[in-house]
Chains A and B, each alone.
Chain A
């Protein structure tokens, strides 16, 4: 599904290498988690994959189902099936959440040559999905993320994911700023979307989230590289001992 080979990335404006050769394969139907200390390059990886400005790819490749992601505009990557759940979802005053969702769903459908969703059909689907995530009608009417609590913003990300039905979902520290109940709700939303044809890359600092979204593979990232890969037990090791032991082991 997602194939990253020796990916090297620097900041566009600064001579600072952030990713120093990342290798990663996420198969369809699997959940991979990336853990790592602050500044290891986890969020950069998610931004580069989704096409944010400000980064320069200096080497390597990233493909989604053999299609080169790095050559595409962000909207093309989205239409190709990539979705990033933002660590800090952006507030957009003046744009209603419903309008936003419908514009996004239909833009992707249009890009893929599919028929646009009718207003009635869209409303039916969005109401059902919103209900599962305990998102009320008021949140759908309000401007995108404006005045939303931390939990509401993250639930809204998962709602977008549910509506857009991507092939490959990247969750960038989706657990940050969430209390236990909110985290459970978000995790349930993600788990409901797990399917054979869909891959997940869950970026997190803490093992906590992985209690609720059980990963198949766990990677540890440090200093722009993946330094260790293992099963779910690797996350527990981090939780118990911190990153120091693993870093020491590798160095």
Chain B
């Protein structure tokens, strides 16, 4: 309790600096979230899950400045037929967005959803609350309380194209808080694509309820503006024979913290979470993953690969919790870093906590440099050092990128990672 008292001041100051959106169905959830935030306090460096990532710039009042960079790269997912929804510095842009009508799905904005008996009441802040235990995630509670907007996606069928949430960044001091809820009904299937630098500071929560036999695909690209900061959370709950697949590519960013909290509560469900990141200099990237197996015969995979150079930092905190009744669990976790020089660092905390006796769980974490023998082999065939290094680096990332089921998107991600490596050659 003494801790909470010490923490309360900056937390109260932060709360006072923000304004909670008015009324409607989400009001009780927001009030509860505010109470949770007050009880927990904002994250501090001595908190167990913030040891490797300084929360200061995420918890200070107002966003630190982040320059907006011009890029001549083709927009993400350009070749994919998709329904685009655009936020500029966290503000919905109706003109840039497509019409929100799509067969098999209803899409609404959080800020515009006024029905008193909204379906999202059963999700908004609910999955986040479940994800607060046993590890507290105060920034997610802050998000639920103060999110200014977001997208509510109710999937009843199999929409013909993916939904693309595009986050543009135009102001160097924008401080955006968005909260999405996605509910997939029995047997439904949807792909959600995300991309863009979003804001100078971005706090995002995505709550995903995947019902029995439903399938959720998520592909995300976080990139471009290096000075930006982001704290994102995914909270997902999976029913029987449900599938959840999420891949994140991160390039650049002074601070990115991606939390992913998944509960497997239906038998025979599958959760795959993967990430590939490349970073340079004061790049700091943190993947914090918590997967709870609470049903029989479920499979989970965590595949995280980080390429770090010029003093960049990568963090991985990944946990598999297997509850006593979750027999026949198949859990896999791998986190690896490729350190392109001696200045970079990778901090990993892989955890397994298993209470069932008939399970197969494996985890591994490694840090290494480019394989000199492979490099020489390539060079001896005429491939110049730079190209050879890039080829081996992409090969290192391949295991994570291969988690993307869609072949064109997989190739596009690889090409973009390759382009980044070529641009950043020393």
Residues on A lying within 8 angstroms of B by beta carbon are 50-53, 73-75, 77-79, 83-84, 86, 89-95, 99-100, 103-104, 107-108, 111, 143, 160, 164
Contacts and interface: CB of A to CB of B under 8 A. Distances in A.
A53 B377 CA distance: 12
B374 A75 contact: no
B96 interface: no
B377 A92 contact: yes
A75 B382 contact: yes
B380 A50 contact: yes
B379 interface: yes
Interface stretch (B340-348, B349-357, B384-392): B384-392
Band of interface residues on B: 20 to 34
A164 B381 contact: yes
Given A73-B385, A92-B395, A78 B376 contact: no
Q: Which secondary structure dominates where chain B touches chain A?
A: helix
Interface string B384-421: 11011001101111110000000000000000000000
A90 B384 contact: no
Contacts of A103: 378, 383, 387, 391
B78 interface: no
Interface of B: 371-374, 376-385, 387-388, 391-392, 394-399
A105 B289 CA distance: 42
Contacts of B388: 75
A99 B387 CA distance: 12
A79 B377 contact: no
B376 A52 contact: yes
19 contacts: A73-B385, A74-B379, A75-B382, A75-B383, A79-B382, A92-B374, A92-B378, A93-B395, A94-B394, A94-B396, A95-B391, A95-B395, A100-B378, A100-B381, A100-B391, A103-B387, A104-B381, A107-B381, A160-B381
A50 B395 CA distance: 24
A78 B381 contact: yes
A52 B375 CA distance: 10
A78 B396 contact: no
B387 A94 contact: no
Contacts of A53: 372, 376
Contacts of A50: 380
**Most A-side CB within 10 Å, residue of B376, B382, B387:** B382
A91 B391 CA distance: 14
A86 B381 contact: no
B195 to A, nearest CB: 25
B399 A107 contact: no
Contacts of A89: 377
A86 B372 CA distance: 15
A108 B392 CA distance: 18
A94 B381 contact: no
A51 B379 contact: yes
**Most A-side CB within 10 Å, residue of B379, B380, B387, B395:** B380
A94 B399 contact: yes
A74 B379 CA distance: 6
A91 B376 CA distance: 12
Contact of B382 (A86, A92, A95, A107): A107
Given A73-B385, A92-B395, A104 B378 contact: yes
Contacts of B371: 90, 92
A77 B381 CA distance: 9
A99 B397 CA distance: 16
A79 B395 CA distance: 24
Contacts of A92: 371, 374, 377-378, 392, 395
B380 A51 contact: yes
B382 A111 contact: yes
B383 A104 contact: yes
A91 B378 CA distance: 11
Contacts of B387: 103, 107
A75 B379 contact: yes
Given A74-B380, A107-B382, 9 more contacts: A53-B376, A78-B382, A86-B380, A90-B377, A94-B395, A94-B396, A103-B383, A104-B378, A160-B381
Nearest to B376: A52
A107 B383 contact: yes
A75 B373 contact: no
A13 to B, nearest CB: 14
A209 B371 CA distance: 31
- Counting from the closest, the 3 A-B pairs by CB-CB distance are A94-B395, A78-B382, A108-B382
Nearest to B398: A94
